[in-house]
Amino acid sequence: MMSETLNEILGTRADRNITDEVKRLLFSETQVRGVCDLIMYNYGPDKYYASVHLELADTMTAKEIDRLTRKLESKVYEKTGVILAGVGLYSCNTGNDEAARIQRDVREKVLKHDWAVQVHGFYLDIEDREMRFDVVFSFDIAPKEGLAILYEEMRKTYPDYDIQILPDVDVSTSD
């Protein structure tokens, strides 16, 4: 009984069936290109709140994004009872072959490391020479150490770019 109480206070990983269903519902909309950083909060029986990041095309307007996120919030709540309390956005490059090539290259370079679990939120601004993305690190490496290695590799490969890499953790279920 103490163990259950402590787990509730300290937090436990969300039920995989619920997180899988939420992700499935989010991906059911064709505009959603990626779902990441799903964090669920349990405030008692049938009281789930969640936050998530969606990867959407960089061509979507605020009006289109608002319509989509409200539709998704409603759908997720109706089907699962989970309230999406926060929906963050990552912009995805669209219609640019050079950006797609660089993204594939970066993803390949990052994921060659056993401790790099996932790359998401990738965006490349070719005109302003900016690259940004998140990396989910395993517990096998300290994020600062992993970031140092990745920054060194990316700067060698893309010296003309201002690079921003953010560390992330896998808090829902593994994909």
Same domain, 79 and 144: no
Same domain, 23 and 65: yes
- Write down the pLDDT at residue 15: 77
In a domain, 174, yes or no: no
In sequence order, the 6+-apart residues with CB closer than 8 A to the CB of 122 are: 90, 92, 93, 103, 106, 107, 131, 132, 133
User: Final residue of a domain: which of 61, 77, 92?
Assistant: 92
Same domain, 69 and 103: no
Same domain, 10 and 79: yes
In a domain, 149, yes or no: yes
CATH number of domain containing 116 = 3.30.70.1350
- How far is Cα 9 from Cα 44, in angstroms, rounded to an integer? 11
User: Final residue of a domain: which of 92, 120, 155?
Assistant: 92
In a domain, 136, yes or no: yes
pLDDT tens digits along 64-92: 999 999 999 999 999 999 999 999 999 99
Same domain, 145 and 65: no
Same domain, 112 and 80: no
Tokens of 74: 């409603």
In a domain, 175, yes or no: no
Structural domain including 88 reads 2-92
- How far is Cα 56 from Cα 136, in angstroms, rounded to an integer? 19
Mean pLDDT of the chain: 90
Confidence of residue 175 (pLDDT cuts 50, 70, 90): very low
pLDDT tens digits along 139-161: 899 999 999 999 999 999 999 99
- How far is Cα 172 from Cα 175, in angstroms, rounded to an integer? 9
pLDDT tens digits along 10-32: 455 567 899 999 999 999 999 99
Q: Where do we find the tokens 């953010």?
A: 166
With 60 as the cut, is the pLDDT of residue 174 above it? no
User: Final residue of a domain: which of 37, 69, 92?
Assistant: 92
Work out how many domains the chain is built from and give that number. 2
- Write down the pLDDT at residue 168: 86
In sequence order, the 6+-apart residues with CB closer than 8 A to the CB of 36 are: 52, 53, 55, 90, 118, 120, 121, 134, 168
Same domain, 102 and 71: no
Same domain, 29 and 55: yes
